[in-house]
Chains A and B, each alone.
Chain A
Amino acid sequence: MGNCRSARRKSRLFEWLQGDPVNGILMTLAFFSFLIIGRNLKLWQMNKRGKSAQMQAEVEEGKSSLAEEPKTGSVLHRFDARIKFICAIVAVFGAVALTHSEFAVIPIIVCVVLVIFARASLKSYFKRLLYPLSIALVVAVVQLFTGTTVVATIPYLGWHIYSQGIAFAILIFARVLAAASILNLLITITPMETLMDSLSWFRVPSVILDTMMLMYRYISVVSEEKARIYKAQESRCGYTKSVSVVRKLGNYGTVGGMLLVKSFDRALKVGDAMVSRGYTGTSSLFSYSTKKMAKKDIAIGVIVVLAVVALLLADLGII
């Protein structure tokens, strides 16, 4: 009887999730709320451990590793960006198509080894992985409650966890981790400008590339503005213990709203600055250039693609 009741409750939950797009939005909001809570917990933990003020400022300012000066010294950095891009796309599709989670470990390990080989910061690499993985975690947790063979039941809630759900959750998590690792490696070993140059070689419209370049340039500026507004609130007890969670969320909302208004204002000023230097909007903002592909780079690219195909075949049990 009890099992029947919990199964009905579970099916109602999934019906609710799948029934209306608004429910999806609610889930997304819940996810971001968890992110905010997680971030606060991190700050609290750092305070408790007495980490240096500089480190705390780094977290508050949200200085992403994207703003870091790219290192260009290693062989991997100098490798043709177009081939790196093709290899990354093929490898991402390969990772997503894997049917056994244990095979996904291979690209994950290879990526870490290559990051070490490129003498890039492992800390930044893992930090960048946190965001896609937090999303993957939410998706994987939802999968736990799907399947037919019950292995455990959550006390009080009566929700069942199924063995098929666990296997699928691990597979999804492994696929996302592998795909995110590959793209993370691509970002780590490819300076933004060469990546844009290679995208222009793939005939991506310049208006898209220009927009991406502007976004990339202004991430750090918006991030600093966010940190300033946040600190202004914090300095006037906006996030102290006595302030309720609802009020704190409201304050975060204000930061978001202010950023939107400031971004709009800055967009107008940047536009004015461009116009004052003779920009008429008829030509591309930036110029993109590419060199001739080296035969050695092409050969390495072919080897990588063949390795991905071999991994897929091994996963399917063909070889």
Chain B
Amino acid sequence: MKAIETINLSHTYPDGTKAIGNINFNVEKGKNIAILGPNGAGKSTLLHHFNGLLMPTSGKVNVLGQEVTKQNLDEIRQKVGLVFQDPDDQLFARSVALDIAFGPTNLKLSKAEIAQRVNWAIEVTDLKGLENKSPSNLSGGQKRRASIAGVLAMKPEIIILDEPMSNLDPKTSSKVLKLLMQLNKELGLTLIIATHDVDLVPLFADEICILNKGQILMQGPPQEIFSQAELLRSVDLRLPRITHLFEILNKEDSLRGDKQYPLTIGEARREILEMLENKK
């Protein structure tokens, strides 16, 4: 089943800027998809359509088979959670627990159900002990996890994250990534992540969508996308560092054949060990 599908989706802002045009995008339920694109490619505009924050100028958006209209926005927003790039935009309540409770309260749930969801989201995102802290006193990583918890408490089936790893140190970034992977595996959530971080994408994405100048340039599995290095470079993107190294080893030093380049350190390690084994 398709979690999200757009049909000829276009959006033009009131000042006449055409942000996206004729986008046909889809993602299967339970998959992780990365939306890669340079600045101004239209990533945020596209993401905001999935949650109904923006309505299409033309075309349509379907969420779990249901078309997004002004009449069913409440239902859509419960199904599709949106995590903003800057956690300070999202965390406005006086304490972490109250911020997490904001969404469930809007869903008009009972007090017991709200408390249960808040506790569950706190536990999943490892925020125990920070419930009563003010968001202004949290670190960058804690703020990010709190903003994810705020969306999780609404029990969505799809979570959209706008640059979730931006402004985080490597350790915190990897912690957030682990959390997202856990959400996908254990809860079966569909994750749509807009990012610039090409090196992290092969670690989590089942599929990659390249967006440029408001158009989808290509969409497919990471191996397929990163095999088109020149096309990626033409839209100001690049290969992951480890893949780039193997590309150089192939082109400059003729050290390997026309096999597909590894995308992660694990894959590269296996290949190097294999090469050493063959040399013996």
Residues of A whose CB lies within 8 Å of any CB of B are 67, 69, 192-193, 196, 213-214, 216-218, 220-221, 266, 269-270, 272-280, 283, 285-287
Contacts and interface: CB of A to CB of B under 8 A. Distances in A.
B146 interface: no
Given A69-B134, A275-B53, A277-B150, A214 B92 contact: yes
A266 B93 CA distance: 15
Nearest to A275: B53
B94 A273 contact: no
Interface stretch (B102-110, B172-180, B213-221): B102-110
Contacts of A69: 133-134, 137
A217 B106 contact: no
A246 to B, nearest CB: 34
Contacts of A273: 82, 84, 89-90, 92
B150 A220 contact: no
Given A193-B95, A270-B89, A217 B84 contact: no
A275 B78 CA distance: 11
Contact of A266 (B82, B89, B154): B89
B94 A269 contact: no
Given A273-B89, A277-B106, A285-B92, 19 more contacts: A69-B133, A69-B134, A69-B137, A196-B94, A214-B92, A217-B135, A266-B89, A270-B90, A273-B84, A274-B92, A274-B102, A276-B77, A277-B102, A278-B106, A280-B74, A280-B106, A283-B105, A286-B93, A286-B98
B86 interface: yes
Nearest to B51: A276
Which label, helix, strand, loop or mixed, suits the secondary structure of the B interface? helix
Contacts of B48: 272
Interface residues of B, number: 31
B228 interface: no
Contact of A213 (B53, B90, B94, B102): B94
Nearest to A277: B103
B88 interface: yes
Contacts of A269: 84, 86, 89
B93 A217 contact: yes
B88 A277 contact: no
A193 B94 contact: yes
Nearest to A214: B92
A213 B99 CA distance: 12
Nearest to A219: B136
B210 interface: no
A194 B85 CA distance: 31
Contacts of B84: 269, 272-273
List the 8 shortest-distance A-B pairs measured between CB atoms, nearest first. A278-B106, A277-B103, A269-B89, A220-B136, A273-B90, A276-B82, A276-B51, A221-B88
A276 B81 CA distance: 7
A278 B74 contact: yes
Contact of B77 (A193, A196, A270, A278): A278
B151 interface: yes
B94 A286 contact: yes
A193 B133 CA distance: 12
B94 A279 contact: no
Contacts of A277: 77, 81, 102-103, 106, 150-151, 154
Contacts of B77: 275-278
A278 B72 CA distance: 11
Interface string B101-121: 011011100000000000000
Contacts of B150: 277
Nearest to A272: B53
A271 to B, nearest CB: 9
B202 to A, nearest CB: 29
Contact of B105 (A272, A276, A287): A287
Contact of A278 (B103, B134, B135): B103
Nearest to B107: A278
B58 to A, nearest CB: 22
A71 B104 CA distance: 29
B69 to A, nearest CB: 16
20 contacts: A213-B93, A216-B94, A217-B93, A217-B135, A217-B136, A269-B84, A269-B86, A273-B82, A273-B89, A274-B102, A275-B53, A275-B77, A276-B51, A276-B53, A276-B77, A276-B81, A276-B82, A277-B81, A279-B102, A283-B106
Nearest to B91: A217
Nearest to B94: A193
B92 A217 contact: yes
A214 B137 CA distance: 15
